[in-house]
């Protein structure tokens, strides 16, 4: 998939002389950040053989609650901690019903998606909550050296996620559960605890994305993040992670997120109508995955076992 | 390796297929529109495109699909694409501020259309002239009644610009005609159900009513139900505001007298016209009101 990303960068630079400018590349990085943060948590869930449809709504609810705290005169630190805590809690609730309730992740997170969106509308009364706080603003508009803060957060998050997944015992257990849940249980792995953990992590990253988005827009929108779960899933799939679980990596996911981000950016630079942009996005996702499959055919083989088991 | 090259070629053709021709023009106007899933904003965009073609400037449109984050990304892309002026039709007045500030930092003039921005430097704001719309409703009553009528005014949510400005324009004109008496003036919250109950009460209290002016179509349609239920449909003529689909149908069926419509196409055209003036260095007004049009039945 790295090959597809490189090809896109080359094409984008050939098609628009505005693409390879520092300013524009920083644009792309900032624009990709929210999806990349959501997709990091989504990767972990999908690796465990699940799916999380609630991330867009959890993002909106935590964003609204945090903005409400700051707008009500609370400290920004309390707001940030409350947002991360709430997101993690909602994720853990997802995980609890998936693990101990033995319910399909698709259904549980679909229910959470509706619940969190509804709660956001109740909490905000349908109106955006404006926040203008110099410290809180850092998450969307700050800098670490020359790097925009959202991009910095993505880098830190992905380094941690990579180390966690490939260099810790718990990380490897997540792969094991996603690869074969039955065998994992028989091997004595506490599958239920792993499941609660992965959904809690996804809730955490959704809240982090909510912090960045709220800060970036100076306001929490009741409709924020609608449909973002699908972009996050697309980034994970583009990154080569198997929907059936057990196979994939966050390094792939960040490449997937960049492919989606660069595509939108370059089509805007080329003045392509938004209707065609969605058409293009669909075709590129399909083509990229197909291409990846062709390039690797015969090599590692493609995991196609029991796709339905992941849902 | 040759396989990879072949695939690269296939991919290039694929991407090129989506890349519309990019005309190189000295002057480019960017339009960041809130959504194209609503005919009102599609009309606005088309009005802008027609005017841009007429004036020989390039127009680049980015669509936010009602998502403020997507709108901010679109504005950033327009800045990166090097447009000379940006027309913004905000998805939300508060969330658009970072986008306006980004354009300000890049030294690109910003014009807002339809909805205003809560902050940043805006060269001009183009929106419907609600005051004029209120006057149009009043003038219609004056013409039809010859300056002698009993009138009911249903007001929108207090404090909203729409309610304030529509009421202001309406009363400005009515107050010049001593023969036109406002027999009742009640607030009905822009809501159809409230319009119904408020009108029911007024009908009880007032034996003589010739016209009802409602600050929006929802209240007008609610009032209409009350009037028809009371069997006074022939005597009382209702004027609404906004030209919603339901209201236009009621006007065509002859149940409602008229409704005042916004002109999104004209709004888009005025946006581009104003942007071109800014490019030429001509002075422009801080607020440019877009006149409304009257939708009236036979």
DSSP B189: T
Distance from CA of B213 to the nearest CA of A (A): 28
- B chain contacts of residue A23, beta-carbon cutoff 8 Å: 79-80
Distance from CA of A47 to the nearest CA of B (A): 28
Q: Does B45 touch chain A (CB under 8 A)?
A: no
pLDDT tens readout for residues B224-283: 999 999 999 989 999 999 998 889 999 999 999 999 999 999 999 999 999 999 999 999
pTM value? 0.77
Cβ contact A24–B36 (<8 Å):
no
Complex ipTM = 0.73
> What pLDDT band is residue B55 in, cutting at 50, 70 and 90?
very high
> What percentage of chain A exceeds 90 in pLDDT?
70
CA pair distance B291, B43, nearest whole angstrom: 16
Exposure pattern of A104-143 as b/e (b: 16+ CB <10 Å)? bbeebbebbbebbbebbeebbeeebbbbebeebbebbbbe
> What percentage of chain B exceeds 90 in pLDDT?
78
Cβ contact A21–B94 (<8 Å):
no
pLDDT tens readout for residues B102-143: 999 999 999 999 999 999 999 999 999 999 999 999 999 999
Distance from CA of A308 to the nearest CA of B (A): 31
pLDDT tens readout for residues B189-210: 898 988 999 999 999 989 999 9
Cβ contact A294–B7 (<8 Å):
yes
Which stretch of A215-224, B21-30, B211-220 has the lowest confidence by average pLDDT? B21-30
Element (H, E) at B171: helix B161-174
pLDDT tens readout for residues A235-286: 999 999 988 899 999 999 999 999 999 998 988 888 888 888 889 889 988 9
Residue (of A264, A274, A212) closest to A28 by Cα position: A264
Q: Is pLDDT of A295 > 80?
A: no
Which stretch of A22-31, A44-53, B65-74 has the lowest confidence by average pLDDT? A22-31
> What pLDDT band is residue B1 in, cutting at 50, 70 and 90?
very low
Residue (of A281, A208, A221) closest to B72 by Cα position: A221
pLDDT of residue A305: 40
Task: Work out whether the CA dihedral B187, B94, A221, B73 comes out positive or negative.
Answer: positive
> What pLDDT band is residue B25 in, cutting at 50, 70 and 90?
very low
- B chain contacts of residue A265, beta-carbon cutoff 8 Å: 73, 77, 80
* Dihedral class, residue B7 (left if φ above 0, else alpha if ψ from -120 to 50, else beta): alpha
- B chain contacts of residue A292, beta-carbon cutoff 8 Å: none
Q: Chain B, 68-127: which have a CB under 8 Å from a chain A CB? A: 68-69, 72-74, 76-82, 92, 94-95, 97-98, 118
Q: Is pLDDT of B24 > 60?
A: no
pLDDT tens readout for residues A151-176: 999 999 999 999 999 999 999 999 99
Looking at per-residue confidence, does A272 or A95 come out higher?
A95
CA pair distance A41, A206, nearest whole angstrom: 8
- B chain contacts of residue A34, beta-carbon cutoff 8 Å: 69
**Best interface-test mutation with A: which of B83, B94, B100 has the largest number of A CBs within 10 A?**
B94
To the nearest whole number, what is the mean pLDDT of chain B?
90
Q: Is pLDDT of B159 > 80?
A: no
CA pair distance A42, B227, nearest whole angstrom: 57
Element (H, E) at B78: helix B68-80
Pick A269's closest partner by Cβ from B11, B18, B80: B80
pLDDT of residue A302: 41
- B chain contacts of residue A294, beta-carbon cutoff 8 Å: 7
**Best interface-test mutation with B: which of A231, A274, A279, A294 has the largest number of B CBs within 10 A?**
A274
> What pLDDT band is residue B158 in, cutting at 50, 70 and 90?
confident
> What pLDDT band is residue B2 in, cutting at 50, 70 and 90?
low
Looking at per-residue confidence, does B5 or B203 come out higher?
B203
pLDDT of residue B298: 61
CB pairs under 8 A between A and B: 120
Q: Is pLDDT of B43 > 50?
A: yes
C-alpha torsion angle, residues A248, A251, A256, A257 (rounded to 10): 130
Q: Is pLDDT of B9 > 70?
A: no
pLDDT of residue B21: 40
> What pLDDT band is residue A292 in, cutting at 50, 70 and 90?
confident
């Amino acid at each position: 998939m790295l090959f597809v990303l490189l090809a896109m960068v080359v094409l984008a630079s050939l098609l628009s002389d505005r693409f390879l400018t520092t300013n524009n590349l920083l644009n792309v990085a900032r624009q990709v950040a929210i999806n990349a943060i959501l997709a990091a948590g989504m990767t972990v869930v999908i690796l465990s053989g699940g799916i999380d449809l609630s991330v867009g709504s959890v993002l909106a609810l935590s964003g609204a609650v945090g903005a409400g705290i700051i707008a009500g005169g609370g400290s920004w630190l309390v707001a940030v901690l409350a947002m991360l805590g709430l997101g993690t809690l909602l994720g853990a609730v997802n995980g609890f019903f998936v693990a101990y309730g033995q319910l399909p992740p698709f259904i549980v997170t679909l229910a959470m998606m509706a619940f969190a969106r509804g709660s956001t509308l109740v909490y905000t009364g349908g109106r955006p909550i404006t926040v203008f706080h110099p410290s809180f603003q850092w998450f969307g508009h700050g800098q670490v050296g020359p790097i925009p803060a959202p991009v910095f957060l993505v880098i830190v998050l992905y380094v941690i996620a990579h180390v966690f997944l490939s260099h810790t015992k718990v990380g490897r257990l997540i792969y094991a559960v996603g690869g074969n849940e039955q065998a994992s249980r028989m091997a004595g792995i506490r599958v239920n605890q792993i499941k609660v953990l992965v959904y809690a992590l996804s809730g955490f990253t959704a809240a982090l994305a909510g912090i960045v988005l709220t800060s970036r827009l100076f306001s929490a929108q009741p409709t924020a993040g609608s449909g973002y779960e699908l972009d996050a899933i697309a980034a994970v799939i583009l990154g080569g992670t198997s929907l059936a679980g057990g196979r994939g990596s966050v390094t792939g996911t960040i490449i997937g997120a960049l492919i989606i981000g660069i595509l939108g950016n370059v089509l805007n630079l080329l003045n392509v109508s938004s209707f065609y942009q969605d058409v293009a996005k669909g075709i590129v996702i399909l083509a990229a995955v197909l291409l990846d499959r062709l390039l690797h055919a015969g090599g590692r083989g493609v995991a196609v076992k029991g796709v339905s088991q992941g849902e | 390796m040759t396989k990879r090259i072949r695939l690269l070629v296939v991919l290039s053709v694929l991407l090129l297929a989506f890349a519309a021709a990019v005309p190189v023009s000295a002057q480019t106007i960017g339009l960041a529109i809130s959504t194209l899933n609503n005919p009102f904003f599609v009309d606005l965009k088309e009005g802008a495109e027609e005017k841009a073609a007429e004036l020989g400037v390039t127009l680049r449109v980015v669509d936010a699909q009602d998502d403020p984050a997507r709108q901010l990304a679109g504005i950033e892309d327009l800045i990166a694409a090097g447009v000379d002026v940006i027309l913004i039709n905000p998805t939300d007045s508060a969330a658009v501020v970072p986008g306006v500030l980004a354009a300000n930092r890049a030294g690109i003039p910003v014009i807002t259309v339809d909805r205003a921005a809560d902050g940043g430097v805006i060269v001009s704001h183009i929106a419907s002239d609600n005051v004029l719309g209120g006057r149009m409703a009043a003038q219609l009553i004056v013409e039809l009644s010859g300056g002698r009528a009993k009138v009911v005014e249903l007001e929108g949510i207090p404090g909203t610009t729409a309610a304030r400005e529509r009421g202001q324009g309406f009363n400005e004109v009515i107050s010049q005609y001593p023969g036109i008496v406002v027999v009742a003036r009640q607030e009905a919250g822009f809501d159809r159900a409230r319009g119904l109950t408020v009108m029911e009460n007024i009908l009880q209290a007032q034996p003589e009513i010739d016209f009802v002016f409602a600050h929006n179509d929802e209240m007008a349609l609610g009032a209409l139900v009350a009037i028809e239920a009371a069997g006074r449909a022939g005597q009382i003529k209702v004027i609404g505001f906004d030209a919603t689909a339901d209201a236009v149908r009621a006007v065509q069926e002859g149940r409602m007298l008229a409704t005042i419509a916004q002109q999104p196409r004209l709004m888009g055209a005025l946006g581009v016209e104003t942007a071109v003036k800014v490019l030429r260095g001509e002075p422009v007004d801080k607020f440019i009101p877009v006149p409304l049009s009257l939708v009236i039945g036979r």
